[in-house]
Amino acid sequence: MRKSQNHFAVLIVGMFLLAGAILVIWKFQPWMPTNTSVQIGTWVCGDHEFQVWQRKDSLTEPFAIGLFVQTREGKWVLYCLSPDDLYRPKIKFRTENGEITVTLNTKEIGVFDSKTEILSRRSDGVVFESTLVDGTPPGVWWDQKLNSTRQP
């Protein structure tokens, strides 16, 4: 009877370890081809549509995250956010008093001013570099050159 309980305990521990390994591997997506883009989501806040895309740079590099914002004129603007190690991070948009707060994995990334159509950090006011995108997201956004002087 005791030997049977030990085998059962080893089996349970092994299943938990296997499940944990599968979860870790899933989060890093090692089988995803380089330069593959995946849409994480689309959000509409006021007059603007936001799309977040994630691109796998290489097997050993983190994912690049692109925030696309459609302006009132219908043009798409790209903001390259900081890289993230995990596949499909949690992204939230919260609208308050004409500002749209962008949160990535519980950390505030920046604030999008819907009047000026500019994304900046709330902490120090630094404006994120951006560029106009030809066509619709994602295009070949990793080839886009960011223009820090883009005006809305």
Residues 28-61: tens digit of each pLDDT: 666 666 777 788 899 999 889 999 998 876 666 6
Residues 48 and 90 in one domain: yes
Helical spans, DSSP H, in the chain: 2-28
Q: Tell me: pLDDT of 146 over 60.
A: no
Put simply, whether the predicted model's pTM sits higher than 0.75 gets the answer: no
Q: What pLDDT score was predicted for residue 48? A: 93
Dist. CA 29–CA 18, nearest whole Å: 16
Instruction: Quote the number of domains for the chain.
Output: 2
Say if 150 falls within a structural domain. no
Q: What is the pLDDT of residue 18?
A: 76
Binning pLDDT at 50, 70 and 90, where does residue 150 land? Answer: very low
Q: What is the mean pLDDT of residues 80-108?
A: 84
> According to the model, what pLDDT value does residue 49 have?
95
Residues 3 and 70 in one domain: no
Average pLDDT taken over every residue of the chain: 80
Per the domain annotation, does 149 fall within a domain? no
Shared-domain flag, residues 10 and 68: no
Residue type at position 148:
S
Q: Which two tokens stand for residue 39?
A: 């849409």
Residues 49, 119, single domain; the answer is yes
